[in-house]
Structure 1
Amino acid sequence: MTLKCSVLASGSTGNAIYVETATERFLVDAGLSGKKLEALAADAGIRLDSLSGILVTHEHSDHVKGLGILARRYKLPIYANDRTWKAMDSMIGTVDPAQKFHFETGARKTFGSLDVESFAVSHDAVEPMFFSFMHEGRKLTILTDTGYVSDRMIGMAREADTLIFESNHDISMLRMGRYPWNVKRRILGDEGHVSNEDAGMALAELVRSHKADIYLAHLSKDNNMKDLARMTVEQTLTAEDVHPGEHFRLFDTDPESPTGLKEV
């Protein structure tokens, strides 16, 4: 069985991504209520009681809101780095120590035939990290919640067949929007979120030499729109001589409904 994934939810209100092989099944983050996560999983045809565990990227509530509930209900292992464990401990309630596992930034773990590698990003959490998954020659990379995309991050995502990639905001919408200036400055800063334009530039580096399916993720509810994100990213890629069909396919994600379970 090949590597498959479904973006159960993605956006500023909550995030959860499902990854599976024939023998391993993981959630990356659980940033919605337990009830909502169960409904989203059911919509995607996924059984949460079959999970191998939950991988945590960072402690913000839109990534861990339902983490403790799911872990307790389904007796699931949780994997996070040491600083993230300390930061989220009071947020997720009591979890059996036997369910707590450490996955340090920059480490690589093997679960059956699935290899998982973590890497650092630039975000205003204690030690945020994201993941690449490798199985039988296929690669999936998840990269959101970063203020910029460094050469090192590009290196970690290189040759991915599927990219779940941040396209958080339209810069003009953010600047003219209702957010107070300190929040705008945070989002635009090096530890904030990637804009549509910057997503397109980073993606051009990745898909120019290796065709990939791209899921535009973590869109702001107030400062972006699906059509705008897709149009801006595609225009940016095309301006870099990277073309739909030939180099990439673009897909939307949604904060309220899952994408189909798809082969990487």
Structure 2
Amino acid sequence: MTMRFSVLASGSTGNAFYVETDKQSFLVDAGLSGKKMESLFSEIDRKMENLSGILVTHEHSDHIKGLGVLARKYKLPIYANEKTWQAMEPLIGQVNAEQKFAFDMETVKSFSGLDIESFGVSHDAAEPMFYVFHHEGKKLVLITDTGYVSDRMKGIIKHADTYVFESNHDVQMLRAGRYPWNIKRRILGDFGHVSNEDAAIAMSEVIGDKTKSVYLAHLSQDNNLKELAEMSVAQTLEMKDMPVGVQFQLHHTDPKTPTILTEV
């Protein structure tokens, strides 16, 4: 039995992540239109009606844009913590009560051998949280939308086989860019997004002997470039005696094109 995943879309315009085992399949966030989400599923040769459910990280529109439409169309179970439910209910429209499930922060839910662990992050949302997927001794971590990576977070996510890790912005690009200062301050702050360098420093403290892949995620369209993110992260890890391409590989994600469905 294997665990497979695809980063369907990742970036400031919309985020969605897919994970499956032989018995279960989940979507994490639906931050693009319902039509676009269906298109992304067809690109990885999967059908939305076969999903076991949708896990929500937080209520920002780039994570829930298509959620209400998909929930109503496919009658899917939706999992989120109570504060996130309260914040997003006015944004997603009517969802039947029997589709609403609570997934508290810092808990584990088990689905036919797939254990999903939630953990809190530091972001300007009601109660943002991300997920670790455990299956048959394999560990897959999804962590974006956090202003920093705390020691508590590092303890939860360390020694994974695969990471989908935020590498949101280049600090110099952000500071010199066109955003108004209040937006820059939000992104740079403790409740914003991690930079390329800060992401790499955090990675250096959690990557373990069995880590094989790191996917750089949630890149800003205005304040980052794929090549720059990869170079910055690789340079920082190199300085920590963790050369990329030896034990583990760095991979891109894209705001419009899914990654290949890959075994963890």
Paired with 1:123 and 1:212, the residues of 2 have a C-alpha distance of 28
Q: Where in structure 2 are there 5+ consecutive unaligned residues?
A: none
Matched, 1:112 2:112: yes
Map 1:140-155 to 2 at 5 A.
140-155=140-155
Match of 2:135 in 1: 135
Paired with 1:48 and 1:87, the residues of 2 have a C-alpha distance of 25
Matched, 1:121 2:121: yes
Structure 1 length normalisation: TM-score? 0.99
Paired with 1:212 and 1:165, the residues of 2 have a C-alpha distance of 13
Query: Displaced runs of 4+ in structure 1, greater than 4 A?
Result: none
Match of 1:242 in 2: 242
Residue by residue, what CA displacement relative to the aligned partner does 1:5-54 show, whole Å, maximum 9, x if unpaired? Answer: 00000000000000000010000000000000000110111111100000
Residue by residue, what CA displacement relative to the aligned partner does 1:79-98 show, whole Å, maximum 9, x if unpaired? Answer: 00000000000100100000
User: Shift of the alpha carbon at 1:156?
Assistant: 1.1
User: Shift of the alpha carbon at 1:114?
Assistant: 0.2
Equivalent position amino acid for 1:262 in 2: T
Paired with 1:248 and 1:149, the residues of 2 have a C-alpha distance of 21
Paired with 2:162 and 2:211, the residues of 1 have a C-alpha distance of 9
Match of 1:35 in 2: 35
Map 1:104-253 to 2 at 5 A.
104-253=104-253
User: Shift of the alpha carbon at 1:245?
Assistant: 2.8
User: Shift of the alpha carbon at 1:236?
Assistant: 0.5
Match of 2:89 in 1: 89
**Kept after mapping to 1: 8 A contact 2:159/2:208:** no
**Kept after mapping to 2: 8 A contact 1:208/1:242:** no
Task: Name which of structure 1's ranges 240-249 and 198-207 shifts more when overlaid on structure 2.
Answer: 240-249
Match of 1:100 in 2: 100
The 3-state SS of whatever aligns with 1:89 is helix
Residue by residue, what CA displacement relative to the aligned partner does 1:206-262 show, whole Å, maximum 9, x if unpaired? Answer: 225442300000000100000000000001000100012333210000000000000
The 3-state SS of whatever aligns with 1:7 is strand
- State, as a whole percentage, how many aligned pairs show the same letter: 63
Paired with 1:4 and 1:208, the residues of 2 have a C-alpha distance of 20
The 3-state SS of whatever aligns with 1:140 is strand
Task: Name which of structure 1's ranges 92-101 and 153-162 shifts more when overlaid on structure 2.
Answer: 153-162
Match of 1:26 in 2: 26
The 3-state SS of whatever aligns with 2:238 is helix
Match of 2:261 in 1: 261
Matched, 1:64 2:64: yes
Equivalent position amino acid for 1:76 in 2: L
Pairwise CA RMSD of aligned residues?
0.8
Paired with 1:179 and 1:71, the residues of 2 have a C-alpha distance of 34
The 3-state SS of whatever aligns with 1:241 is coil
**Kept after mapping to 2: 8 A contact 1:77/1:99:** yes
Residue by residue, what CA displacement relative to the aligned partner does 1:60-82 show, whole Å, maximum 9, x if unpaired? Answer: 00000000111111110000000
The 3-state SS of whatever aligns with 2:90 is coil
Equivalent position amino acid for 2:217 in 1: A
Equivalent position amino acid for 1:70 in 2: L
Equivalent position amino acid for 2:235 in 1: Q
Number of positions where the alignment pairs a residue of Structure 1 with one of Structure 2: 264
